[in-house]
Structure 1
Amino acid sequence: MNNFLDIEYHPIIEDFIVDYVDDEMDAVEKEAFEEVLVHHDELRELAFSAKEGKKLLQQFQQIKAKEDFIDRMLNSIS
């Protein structure tokens, strides 16, 4: 089995993955796409990884650095 990151997908498939991750599919589209995912290991892994990646990015948005973080970082670099 190839690594799902080594495969180039058609832009339409990429759009389906984005819509799936963003939960922008209607019930019929979602059910049909999930049926495809059941039978396509690499695509399923890509879709689930994209969902997890989005969750992680949302968590990082909630993290706030202290006000003097940039100054402290610049001082430590110089």
Structure 2
Amino acid sequence: MPSAKEGRYQAYKLLKELDSQISETMNQIAYGRMSGVDWEETCRSHRIAFEEWMRFAAVQVDAASSHDEGIETT
């Protein structure tokens, strides 16, 4: 299991990427570019960033739950 410092850094990187993808998606919407290859790529990139964040968050929640229950995790 990564140290708390490594975990915070990983969270920071993932949130920064997700924020970037959200901004790009909103930009595309604001300028009416919601079709074509660029839009599909924007949606794909946003989805990937969100899924990576959710995987990370799920591991953190599981680790916290295990810790609260006194279960050792590897």
Please tell me the TM-score bracket, short chain as reference.
Answer: 0.3 to 0.5
User: Normalization by structure 2: what TM-score?
Assistant: 0.40
Which of the two has higher C-alpha Rg? 1
